[in-house]
Amino acid sequence: MGELLVLGIETTCDETSAAVVSRSLTGSGEIRSNVIRSQVEVHAPFGGVVPEIAARAHVEVLDHVIAEAMKQAGIAYRDLSGIAAAAGPGLIGGVIVGLTTAKALALAARKPLIAVNHLEAHALTARLTDGVQFPFLLLLVSGGHTQLVAVEEVGRYTRIGTTLDDAIGEAFDKVAKMLSLPYPGGPHVEEEAARGDAERFMFPRPLMGRREPDFSLSGLKTAVRLEADRLAPLTDDDVADLCASFQAAVVEVIADRVRAGARVFREKMGRGPSALVVAGGVAANGAIRARLKQIAAELNTRLAIPAPALCTDNGAMIAWAGAERLARQLIDPLDVSPRARWPLDPVAAGPMARA
């Protein structure tokens, strides 16, 4: 197999996206197009993603988004090596829309179908953007996921830590909501934090110092709520100080948990990670990025954080994961099922597991 050219489709949450990515024989990649249509405005009035509305919005725009991705890449369906879609985990209505469309295209164009795990796609993006080699330590931090994963190979993932309650992005969003900041809250909390006093409130740093690299955010979130209730009505300075103190706690927790994760990685793999890779929307946060840079230096490894547009949900990551799988002859039958839950590491996914 020579160069691979793969179309990727992403519809698991509130982004409708399609992209064309190439993968050379040597394993380097190039994004030929990456069309992303966000539904943020559609869901903003509800303060969160409404699954039924999301599914309908995907149906309305997906065909157009795919056509645009193909046009920008300047290719025809016959030029493709395969067609990939995120088959989960995510909101099942949206997943069905994307996967069914990919199946129809694969059938009509007689191309192999690749059913991609959305989390795997986040994990492998840094190989496209930064040429990261296996094995590496992945910190996945988004609105729905908070995980530390040892990535050994395509398809070989060991989850070494996860959140016991809220995802980090979710905690940012909830704090924003209680302080009446717009949705999605992460960027607004960061903006407020930049002009606030991070030492005004000493919020708890849950699980800090524990050996197991897990996360817990709900106690921290509750502490912010209690403080906000006590101070109400809030001044602009109160809001900024609450955001700064909250973010400082999150930054310290992440630093400590990543250190614990690196220790477990070393025990399990018998070596240190070739890189610390960060993915998910929260990776856009400047304070978190800066701290992780220090941690990577401390761990003697490189830090790889894809550009913000490739950290959040996008079709290019699905196309790339599809190409990585296709290069290893990992393809799927046309009757492959969409999955609302689909843990990267089925072994670690006990009864406590979140998809």
Q: Give the annotated binding-site residues for Fe cation.
A: 118, 122, 313
186 sits near ligand KG4 (criterion: CB under 6 A) = yes
- Pick out residues in 155-184 that bind ligand KG4 (CB under 6 A): 169-170, 172-173, 184
From the CA atom positions of the chain, what is the Rg in Å? 20
Contacts of 255 (CB under 8 A, 6+ apart): 291, 292, 294, 295
Residue 94 engages ligand KG4 in binding (rule: CB under 6 A): no
C-alpha dihedral sign at 285, 287, 290, 294:
negative
Residue 124: alpha-carbon gap to chain centroid: 11
* Range 55-84, binding ligand KG4 (CB under 6 A): none
Minimum CB distance to ligand KG4 smaller for 8 or for 185 = 185
Give yes or no for residue 185 binding ligand KG4 (CB under 6 A). yes
Tell whether residue 313 is a contact of Zn ion (CB under 5 A). Answer: yes
Comparing CA positions, the residue from 122, 125, 82, 119 lying closest to residue 102 is 82
Q: Which listed option, ligand KG4, Zn ion, none, makes contact with residue 143 (CB within 5 to 8 Å by class)?
A: ligand KG4
Kindly report the backbone phi and psi dihedral angles of residue 126, in degrees, each rounded to the nearest multiple of 5, phi listed first: -65, -20
Which strands form 15-23's sheet, in the order they lie side by side? 29-38, 15-23, 4-10, 82-88, 113-117
CB of 209 to Zn ion, least distance (A): 29
Q: 133 to 172, contacts with Zn ion by CB under 5 A?
A: 142
Tell me the window of 155-163, 177-185, 200-208, 305-313 that interacts with Zn ion (CB under 5 A). 305-313
Q: Minimal CA–CA distance to 318: which of 111, 2, 98, 78?
A: 98
According to the binding rule CB under 5 A, does residue 10 interact with Zn ion?
no
> Omega before 343 cis (within 30°)?
no
d(CA 85, CA 102): 6
Pairing of the two strands 275-279 and 302-304? parallel
Residue 98 is a binding residue for ligand KG4 (CB under 6 A)? no
Q: Say whether residue 13 binds ligand KG4 (CB under 6 A).
A: yes
Of the candidates 285, 323, 327, 342, which one interacts with ligand KG4 according to CB under 6 A? 285
Nearer residue to Zn ion within complex by CB, 313 or 332:
313
Q: How far is the CB of 311 from Zn ion (least distance, A)?
A: 9
DSSP class of residue 278?
E
Q: Is 120 in the site for ligand KG4 (CB under 6 A)?
A: no
268 near 212, Cβ under 8 Å? no
Report, in Å, the least distance between residue 240 CB and Zn ion: 29
Give the nearest distance from C-beta 259 to ligand KG4 in angstroms: 21
Q: How far is the CB of 169 from Zn ion (least distance, A)?
A: 9
Our finding on whether 48 is near ligand KG4 (CB under 6 A) is: no
Binding-site positions for substrate: 140-144, 173, 186, 190, 285
Give residue for tokens 């398809």: 155
- Applying CB under 6 A, the site for ligand KG4 has a residue count of 20
Would you tell me which residues interact with Zn ion (CB under 5 A)? 142, 313
